[in-house]
Amino acid sequence: MKELVIVSGKGGTGKTSLTAAFSSLAGRHILCDADVDAADLHLLLAPEVSERHEFMGGGKAVIDPERCSRCGQCRDLCRFAAIEGEFSVDPIACEGCGVCVDLCPAGAIDFPIQKCGEWFVSDTRNGSMVHARLGIAEENSGKLVSCIRREARRLAEEQDLEIIITDGPPGIGCPVIAAIGGATALVLVVEPTVSGLHDMSRLVDLARHFRVPCLLCINKFDLNLEMTRRLEDEARERKMQLVGRVPFDPLFTEAMIAARTVIEYQQDSRIAVAVREIWHAIVASPAMNSYGIRTM
């Protein structure tokens, strides 16, 4: 089984549009939307939810004023400045460490487990999809990402499918770390801008850290040909395979408004042609065809 994770470092470079387009080309596969913070893949693939699960995170401290002796111990112990005024807990600041709960001399602090979000198994026109919604302002995004990737792998085994296509989150922090560990390969969707190059470079450092091979796809390459060349130079230097370039085209926005992938929207557009070539390059890439320790 192979898992391809589409990432970018910088947000808004076209990860989700390309993930959906790959899904139109991939044959039978499992889809996974690991951008749990701002998931958008469902807007293109109209999943019908067949299973809905609560995602439970850690606990949050709640002080019972009846039992509280107002000794101030919790305030002294809390390293997150979450104890307010005459002893209530600011739920947004509370890190869920439970130190106050365990050490309150009056035993006045409860620690109810919080629902941090939901995750779903759904049917789409391209097969099963696992996706999630992290509650607003919630923590544990990395845990939720790990949870849905695990579920995607389970489904792939159950349905005897060879490939999982995962839409990753932006950045290089907690959810990205959870999204790339153990993946077969990453597709980096990068635009030819100074920020695109800078953010890609940090993401490649992270991928090296986890020993996951990277494939580079340059989106909107014709917006700045000189920067595109610099991205290609960087790819060569860092031994990343360039799997293709996609021109800037309002067709991406039109397809999005029509809730279609760019492949479905106009089969023979220059975008569809470019994306098809990229998909073939990904499937044929050494990174996706090694039988080393990286295969799951």
Partner 1 sequence: MIISVASGKGGTGKTTVATNMALSMEGGCTLLDCDVEEPNVHLFLHPVIERRETVTTFIPAVDDSRCTWCRKCADICRFRAIAVVGQKVLVFPELCHSCGGCQVICPEQAIGEGLRELGVVEWGEGAGVPVVQGRIRVGEAMAPPLIRKVRAAAKSDGTVIIDAPPGTSCPVIAAMRGVDFVLLVTEPTPFGLHDLELAVGAVRLLDIPCGLVINRADMGDDRVRQYARREQLPVLLEIPFDRRIAETYSRGRMIVEELPEWKEKFRDLFRRIEERVEAAPKGRTEQ
| 273 belongs to the binding site for partner 1 (CB under 8 A) | no
Min CB(198)–partner 1 separation in Å: 6
For partner 1, the closer of residues 75 and 283 by Cβ is 75
Q: Which of residues 218-247 bind partner 1 (CB under 8 A)?
A: 223-224, 227
Q: Rounded to whole angstroms, how far apart are CA atoms 9 and 197?
A: 9
Instruction: List, as one string, the DSSP characters of 200-218.
Output: HHHHHHHHHHTT--EEEEE
Binding mask 10-49 for partner 1 (x = CB under 8 A): xxxx--x--------------------xx-x--x------
Binding mask 98-137 for partner 1 (x = CB under 8 A): xx--xx------------------------------x-xx
For partner 1, the closer of residues 104 and 156 by Cβ is 104
> What 3-state class would DSSP assign to 148?
helix
Q: Which of residues 152-191 bind partner 1 (CB under 8 A)?
A: 169-177, 191
Maximum alpha-carbon separation in the chain: 72
| 68 belongs to the binding site for partner 1 (CB under 8 A) | no
Q: Rounded to whole angstroms, how far apart are CA atoms 183 and 192?
A: 25
247 CB-side CA count, 13 A = 9
Min CB(157)–partner 1 separation in Å: 27
**# residues contacting partner 1 (CB under 8 A):** 59
CB 16 within 8 Å of CB 41: yes
Instruction: List, as one string, the DSSP characters of 117-131.
Output: EEEEEEEETTEEEEE
Count the neighbouring beta carbons within 10 Å of the beta carbon of residue 58: 16
| 143 belongs to the binding site for partner 1 (CB under 8 A) | no
Q: One-letter amino acid identity for 64? A: D
> Which helix (H) or strand (E) covers residue 60, if one does?
none
Site for partner 1, rule CB under 8 A: 8-13, 16, 37-38, 40, 43, 58-59, 77, 79-80, 92, 95-99, 102-103, 134, 136-139, 141-142, 169-177, 191-195, 198-199, 202, 205-206, 209, 223-224, 227, 250, 253, 256-257, 259
